Structure 1
């Protein structure tokens, strides 16, 4: 790896250490890959996490060593910088949002199940199964379970025709 990528990875390890492997952050981890195109060398750092239901998500930082440019990609959003500290801020901001992304995924699942005509008891049973899931990132925390049960109870207290539209 080139100097810019080494510096970025070193700072990433330090910055992400508190979040790595935790269920509330989707079993956060990262993997590095490298390639060369002509005389240009690239390094990609994929920051991977799961949302409940075993959906794998990815943040990426691609380093163009020749140009000294770091490109951070989060879904459709793309940010470019030449500053390692700024790239770290991009990553940390996205990583800190993972618990909320996970909760939104759970709310989406509850809305979908309700829209399929499942009963409140069936939805709660599904949530309990997620709590006991085998995949670390695919499982949910007790906090996520509590918040989602509260959402479920709120959703099921509304008339059924409003549930599908409810957010």
Structure 2
């Protein structure tokens, strides 16, 4: 009979397969580690992805084999369950949000660059560099480039006061 951690990994592989290694999902991948505390065995499954600019993000599922509890952690969010399908749903919901998280990171970066006084041309040049970044997850897709250029153009066409108020 498979352990709880093995069951989670099996379902996780099947669920994440369509997203793994894709730029739009930040070169999604996962790694498993195990440890023991006394007679209790734990398995942590770290699900890792990048947002543009090579920022690494991590989700975790920690499996407490003795208690049969799965703990899903995404930043400040923590959910506990004893149901493998529920844990996988937590993960998949978060994974589906990665493209939007990546776009929001790009928008934040554009706002930061604009706030530093960079010109529209400088910002657009930096965005083009991200399209050709060396790290798979740190690069951006053509769709992300298009969306971010449109955002940049709207941002730079606004007056300084409008930028502060609405962006």
Partner of 2:11: 11
Q: How far 1:165 sits from its partner (Å)?
A: 4.2
Q: Deviations over 1:51-70 (max 9, x none)?
A: 00000000000000000000
Partner of 1:53: 53
CA distance in 2, matches of 1:123, 1:13: 38
Q: How far 1:162 sits from its partner (Å)?
A: 3.1
Q: How far 1:160 sits from its partner (Å)?
A: 1.9
TM-score, scaled to structure 1 = 0.97
| Structure 2 counterpart SS, 1:53 | coil
Partner of 2:20: 20
TM-score, scaled to structure 2 = 0.97
Partner of 2:81: 81
CA distance in 2, matches of 1:166, 1:111: 11
Q: How far 1:117 sits from its partner (Å)?
A: 0.4
| Structure 1 counterpart SS, 2:43 | strand
Partner of 2:29: 29
Report the count of equivalent residues: 166
| Structure 2 counterpart SS, 1:10 | helix
Q: How far 1:161 sits from its partner (Å)?
A: 3.3
Partner of 1:105: 105
| Structure 2 counterpart SS, 1:153 | helix
CA distance in 2, matches of 1:60, 1:4: 15
CA distance in 2, matches of 1:113, 1:39: 52
* Counterpart contact for 1:114–1:164, Cα < 8 Å: no
Q: Deviations over 1:86-110 (max 9, x none)?
A: 0000000000000000000000000
2:155 is the counterpart of 1:136: no
| Structure 2 counterpart SS, 1:79 | strand
Listed as ranges, the gaps of 5+ residues in structure 1 are none
